[in-house]
Each structure stands twice: as structure tokens, then as C-alpha cells.
Chains A and B, each alone.
Chain A
Amino acid sequence: MTRIPIQNENRAMTALSVFVSAMMVALSILVLAGAAALHHLDVEWRHALADRWTIEMESSDTLHPVDVEKALSILRTIPGVIDARLITQDELRRLLDPWLGVDALAAELPLPILIDLHVSPTDQITSSLFSERLSAVLPNAKLDDHESWTRIPVRIAQTGEVFGLSLFSAIILTALSTIAAAARARLAINRSEIELLHTLGASDGYIARQFQTDPFRSAAVGSLIGAAISATIIVIAGRVDLSIAPMIPQLYLTAKDVAFLLAVPIGATLLATLVARMTAYSLARRLP
């Protein structure tokens, strides 16, 4: 059916709709991109140390090398342990050099015995099992599964993810309310035209279709602008060199993330059209 230009043109409202759509899409993409990058960080932090545990024992001065060898043998028999390896004193000193320096004083510091365990992350290994097996040979050995080190950054990353998704939900709700309000305003402005069409035999669906076209155009243009703005910001942010802060890994987005983010402007346009249509439809239904 031919579209009838029933609406009085309102350039200010159209411009506002384009602006709001652009801002909402830009914010949504940036928030989702941030949440995705934090998610990767969270997963990396958790996985990076998930298969590496450490057994720490008192200083080598008071420990017999035979006991260490025995402990290594016992550890290798525990189900889920792929390998157990003694970290040599030279290796330990190299790891501590950046913090303690290489002077004589540092060389004299007593260092603990560390055993690096390569474990299978899928096997459910409990610390009590280690305590049981090692108690005879190394009663003072402590097991460090690194959870205490990763817990805080992982929690920060996870909080960031949740915050990002909450913000995204808030943006979507705000956008939907704004679109519905704009659609209602548009309908109020054109009420007499709608009533006339209704009187002449226009169906509710037809009236709703007339009022979805302009929101569709505004949302499509706004979404494209918003996507361009957010893409520019993401590209610039991606070029920031984080190597000066070695504890903070480089943030990144996968191809899957990019595909998902590209769906945001499309989804926003479709959602805006749908909301405008549903609003117009529900108001048309109130006519006799």
C-alpha cells in the first residue's frame, strides 16, 4: 500500500532523534566493548595460573635435598599433577633481581625452596590431599594455588563486566523510553491526521506502519553516526601503549566481539522501528 505523507515535517524532532540514536549507539558500543575486553582479561588472569601451583618450603639451609627429591616423587604420583619441578636458587634470584637488585646483600638473603607444579585444571585437586601426602616428608610445606593473587584483579574485572552490562541495559532502557516518548509526541502532533485516516478506513496496522518509517530513518542515520564515533574511539584506545605498566595486560577485542558490536547499530535501528510501531499501534487501537 502506498505510503501517505500524513505527518507534518518536524526537522527539530528528526534532528533530536538522530542525535539521541547516535549517542545511545556510541555509548552502547563503547560499554559493550569495554565489558568484552574486561571479560577477556578476567578469563586470561584466571586461566594463566589455573594450571600452575607452587609448593613453598622453609629456607634451603635447613632442608635436606633428599627430602626435596622425595617430595618431588610423591607429588608426581598425585592424580592431576602433570609435572613437579624444583625452581633452582639461580632462577629464584633472577626472578627477584628487579625488586631486590644484584648486590651482595641481596645475594645473602635466605631464599625459600619452591616447587613449581603443573596441574591439570580439569581435575579436582584439593589442598588437603597435598597436605596428607607431604606431611611425612615436608611437614611445613605450604601450597599456593595463586588464587589469593588472582582473586582481586579477577573480581575487579568481573565487577567491571557486570557494571558494563548494567550500564548497557540502562542505556537500552533509556533509548527505548526516549523512542517511545518521541513516537507519542509525533502521534500527538499528528492526532487530527491520524483520526482522519482512521475515519477514512485506515487500519491500526496501516497507521502504525506510517509512523515507523521516520523513526527507522532517524535511527538508521543516528546508528551509523554512533557506530563511526565509537569505532574511532576504540581504534584510538587500541593504540595506547600499556607496556609501561607490565601488570596490566593489553586489552583486545576478538573478531567475534567486533561482529557482535557491529550488530548493535543494526539492532538499535530495528528496535527503534519496532518500539515506534508498537507505540503507534497501541495508540491507534484506542481509536474507536
Chain B
Amino acid sequence: MISFDKVGFQYGVGPEILHDISVTIEAGSFHFLTGPSGAGKSTLLSMMHFDRRPTRGFLSIMGENVAMLARAKTPLLRRKIGIVFQDFRLLEHLSVFDNVALPLRLAGEKERILSRNVTEILEWVGLGKAMHVSPRALSGGEQQCVAIARAVVGRPGLLLADEPTGSVDDVIGQRVMRLFEELHRLGTAVIIASHNENLIRRFPHTRLELMDGHLVRIPVEFGMKL
């Protein structure tokens, strides 16, 4: 699904912050991306979401060579990737339903099908009764569930989450993680950037650790080759 081969990255003319990243992420796999703050986790995730291009090396996502990718094709590929942010990024002037419906509307889905899918996914994250309220009326944990629902409503093949439990308490964090595991069981490849060691220990999955700009391997379990 994603293949990094000796990828390096630097901002402008600054020093290189990622060096010789080589890793393959298989479809349906589950990975934690760990490392101290500022190690480059978010940068690596943004490269997987076409927001940044490698300054050297080869990166292929869903069979597309990122360096050669036409701008017009990027939105179509982005729609195949779900993304969850630490700060949720919900549109407060839209209802919970409309927030979750955003990816489907962008994909031009028919309203009838869209309505059924959004309702279904909101029931799944436990917010079936809150679909017509503003996100402002929800707790932080509930808002993160809305963000997850929005990320997965389009049935993406890949889900990227950047510190998804960073703004919620431990109980909600575990609930969020269980949702990710459920998605993983349904066949979605999941990559979660986190530095929450407690959480990572409770959910044993392959771990990729960024140290000094290098991707350090933690025991290979399945779906990953270094």
C-alpha cells in the first residue's frame, strides 16, 4: 500500500529531518508510529497523505509514484485515505451529520446513500442520537469520535491518525483505540502516530519508531518489512 525507499525530507534549505526512510506498509496492517515530540512523526504522516513530497528517495502510495503524481489526481487518492487529527478539525457551523458527510459529498455520493452511511457510522461510534447537534455541544471524546466517523465513512483503505488520543482522557482513548482495531479487522490499514506509551503497550501492534530522523524498527510482527 505504501512503500518508502531511502526517503529523505527537509524543509526548504534547512537540515534534513528524515533520513533514508525505507519501509513497506501492507494493506490491512496496523502500525504505531512513535518517537519523541519533534521527531518527524507528523511530517511522515503528511507524506503518506500527499501533503509533502520527499526531497529525495522514492515514495509510492497506492501504486502511485508520489514524485510523478499529477496534481489533479491527488484529491482522488486523498479520498481513499481517512485522516484523524489530534485537534479533531470539525466545522462548528455544520451539524455532526454534515461534518461526517463531508467526504461523501466531496466524492459526489447520492444523498440517499450518504444519509444511510452517515447514520450507520454515527451509530457505530455511539453518536446516533447526536447527529443533528453542533460539534460544540459534544465533549472532547465525542468530538474525536465524530472525527473518526468522518475519517472512515468513505470506507478508506488506509487510516492515518495523528495523536488521536492526545486530547482525550484515558478511558475515551481506549474506546477510540478499540474503534481503530475494529476498523483494522474490517481490512483497513491503520497507522497511528502517538507517544502515549501506556496506550501502545495495551494494544500490541507493529511499531515504527523515529529516532534522530531514522526509522527504527521494533520487532516485525506482520504486514511490514524493513
Residue positions of A touching B, CB distance < 8 A:
1-2, 4-6, 8-9, 192-193, 196-197, 199-204, 206, 285, 288
- Chain B nearest Cβ from A204, distance in angstroms: 8
Any A CB within 8 A of the CB of B31? no
Q: What is the bound-complex CA distance between A8 and B94, given in angstroms? A: 10
Asked whether B52 lies within 8 Å of A200 as measured between CB atoms, the reply is: no
Q: What are 8 sample pairs from A and B whose C-beta atoms fall under 8 A apart? A: A2-B105, A192-B89, A196-B89, A196-B102, A200-B103, A200-B106, A202-B75, A203-B72
Fill in one digit per residue for B70-89: 1 if any A CB lies within 8 Å of its CB, else 0: 01100111110001000001
Residues of B within 8 A of A193 (CB): 91
Q: A201 to B93, Cβ gap below 8 A?
A: no
Q: How far is the CA of A192 from the CA of B94 in the complex (A)?
A: 14
Q: How many residues of B are in contact with the other chain, CB < 8 A?
A: 25
**Chain B 97-141 interface 0/1 with A at a Cβ cutoff of 8 Å (1 = within):** 010001101111001000000000000000000000000000000
Docked Cα-Cα span, A278 to B69, in Å, equals 24
Interface SS of chain A? loop
Q: Is B83 a contact of A199 with CB atoms below 8 Å? A: yes
In the complex the two chains form, is B93's CB within 8 Å of A5's CB? yes
Please measure, in the bound complex, the distance between the C-alpha atom of A288 and the C-alpha atom of B93, giving whole angstroms. 25
On whether the beta carbons of B51 and A288 are closer than 8 Å, the reply is yes
For the complex formed, measure the closest distance between the CB of A14 and the CB atoms of chain B, giving whole angstroms: 15
Task: Name which residue of chain B comes closest to A200, CB basis.
Answer: B103
Are A201 and B51 in contact (CB-based, < 8 A)? no
B49 at the interface (CB under 8 A from A): yes
Apart from the given pairs A200-B79, A206-B75, 10 other A-B contacts in the complex at a CB distance below 8 Å: A1-B108, A2-B111, A199-B49, A199-B78, A199-B83, A200-B103, A201-B78, A201-B79, A201-B103, A288-B50
Instruction: Quote the shortest CB–CB distance from A30 to chain B (angstroms).
Output: 40
Decide: A1 and B78 in contact? CB cutoff 8 A: no
- Are A6 and B91 in contact, with the CB atoms below 8 A? yes
Bound CA span A201–B72, Å: 11
| Residues of the A chain whose Cβ atoms lie less than 8 Å from the Cβ of B91 | 6, 193, 196
Report which residue of A193, A199, A206 has the largest number of chain B beta carbons within 10 angstroms of its beta carbon.
A199
> A4 contacts B93, CB within 8 Å?
no
Residues of A within 8 A of B79 (CB): 200-201
Nearest to B108 among chain A residues (CB) is: A1
Please report the C-alpha to C-alpha distance between residue A4 and residue B95 in the assembled complex, in whole angstroms: 12
Name the distance in Å between B65's Cβ and chain A's nearest Cβ: 17
Task: Identify the interface centre among A9, A192, A196: most chain B CB within 10 Å of its CB.
Answer: A196
A193 to B102, CA, bound (A): 11
The CA-CA distance from A126 to B52 in the complex, in Å, is: 77
Q: Which residues of B contact A196 (CB under 8 A)?
A: 89, 91, 102
Residue of A at shortest CB range from B103?
A: A200
Q: State whether A200 touches B51 (Cβ < 8 A).
A: no
Name the distance in Å between B20's Cβ and chain A's nearest Cβ. Answer: 23
Question: How many whole Å from B10's CB to the nearest CB in chain A?
Answer: 15
A1 B75 Cβ-Cβ under 8 A: no
CA distance A134 to B76 in the complex (A): 87
In the assembled complex, the CB of B12 is this many whole angstroms from the nearest CB of chain A, namely: 14
Closest partner residue, chain A, to B80 (CB atom): A201
CB distance from B120 to the nearest CB of A (A): 19
Give the 10 A-B residue pairs with the shortest CB-CB distance, closest first.
A201-B79, A201-B78, A203-B75, A201-B75, A288-B51, A1-B108, A2-B105, A200-B103, A202-B106, A196-B89
Chain B residue numbers with a CB within 8 Å of A8 are 93
User: Which residue of chain B is the closest to A7 with respect to CB atoms?
Assistant: B93
CB of A199 within 8 A of CB of B102, answer no
Residues of B within 8 A of A206 (CB): 75, 106
Q: For the complex formed, measure the closest distance between the CB of A207 and the CB atoms of chain B, giving whole angstroms.
A: 10
CB of A235 to closest CB in B, whole Å: 44
A5–B52 Cα gap in the complex (Å)? Answer: 28
Chain B residue at minimal CB-CB distance from A202? B106
Chain A: which residue is nearest B110 at the CB level? A2
Which B residues are in CB contact (< 8 Å) with A1?
A: 105-106, 108
Once the chains are docked, how many angstroms separate the CA of A203 from the CA of B103? Answer: 12
CB-defined contacts of B75 to chain A, threshold 8 Å: 201-203, 206
Contacts of B50 in A (CB 8 A): 288
